[in-house]
């Protein structure tokens, strides 16, 4: 018989059994209905794998994948990214439905943060910097608040304070904590980023 080629990875096999075992071992959670039936019948005639057991295993894998998608809908974000703020516990929605760009400058303790550094690149799908560019941010979801966006970068912002690397600025009367979009003060937990927005954040300790 002619060889089999895997539609999932392009690997080629000389016989059907090797092909089906490859599907079971490497692509069990990606199989379509027809592939599931073929794999379920693998070795059924010679006392090998029980079709019922195989089918149940595939079903369980598919269920786990579905649950993972529901529980972690954004995916793609780097590990260790904790989103600070978020406005009443709500987060971005409709991932990939929009594509906005804007610019940002963040100066903390007299030093401007360089968002081209790896620690700031591709930290979350809804909001991120990419391709080593630290000047232009990208938004790929609806409802991305300034608080959420900064949280993906490890910067917590509120209407009166900025927290970075364990230090909070603005909770002392002599400290500076400026959070602006397009030159206007905003409430970070409520302000939703739009196309062309320029974000400016300045935080300094007391000089006294």
| pLDDT computed for residue 5 by the predictor | 76
Task: Tell me the domains of the chain and their CATH numbers.
Answer: 4-71 (no CATH), 100-204 (2.170.130)
Write out pLDDT tens, residues 76-93.
Answer: 433 333 333 333 346 899
Size (the chain), residues: 208
φ/ψ (deg, to 5) at 173: -55, -25
d(CA 176, CA 160): 9
* Mean pLDDT, rounded, for 17-22: 84
Instruction: Flag whether the pTM goes above 0.85.
Output: no
Number of C-beta neighbours around residue 179 at 10 A: 25
d(CA 177, CA 163): 9
- Greater pLDDT, 42 or 190: 190
Q: Give, in order, the Cα–Cα distances in Å from 162 to each of 85, 154, 182, 202.
A: 12, 11, 18, 8
Write out pLDDT tens, residues 135-186.
Answer: 999 999 999 999 999 999 999 999 899 999 999 999 988 899 999 999 999 9
| pLDDT computed for residue 28 by the predictor | 79
């Amino acid at each position: 018989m002619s060889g089999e080629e895997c539609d999932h990875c392009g690997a080629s096999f000389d016989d059907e059994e090797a092909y089906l075992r490859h599907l079971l071992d490497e692509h069990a959670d990606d199989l379509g209905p027809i592939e599931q039936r073929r794999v379920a019948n693998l070795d059924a005639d010679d006392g090998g794998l029980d079709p019922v057991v195989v089918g149940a295993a595939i079903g369980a894998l598919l269920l786990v994948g579905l649950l993972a998608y529901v529980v972690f809908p954004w995916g793609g974000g780097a590990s260790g990214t904790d989103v600070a703020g978020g406005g009443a516990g709500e987060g971005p929605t409709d991932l990939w439905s929009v594509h906005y760009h804007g610019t940002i400058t963040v100066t903390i303790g007299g030093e401007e943060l360089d968002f081209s550094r790896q620690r700031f690149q591709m930290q979350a799908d809804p909001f991120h910097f990419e391709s080593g560019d630290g000047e232009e941010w990208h938004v790929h979801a609806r409802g991305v608040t300034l608080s959420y966006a900064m949280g993906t970068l490890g910067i917590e912002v509120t209407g009166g304070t900025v927290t970075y690397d364990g230090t909070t600025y603005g909770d002392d009367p002599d400290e500076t904590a400026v959070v602006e979009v397009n030159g206007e003060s905003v409430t970070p937990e409520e302000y939703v980023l739009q196309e062309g927005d320029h974000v400016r954040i300045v935080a300094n300790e007391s000089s006294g």
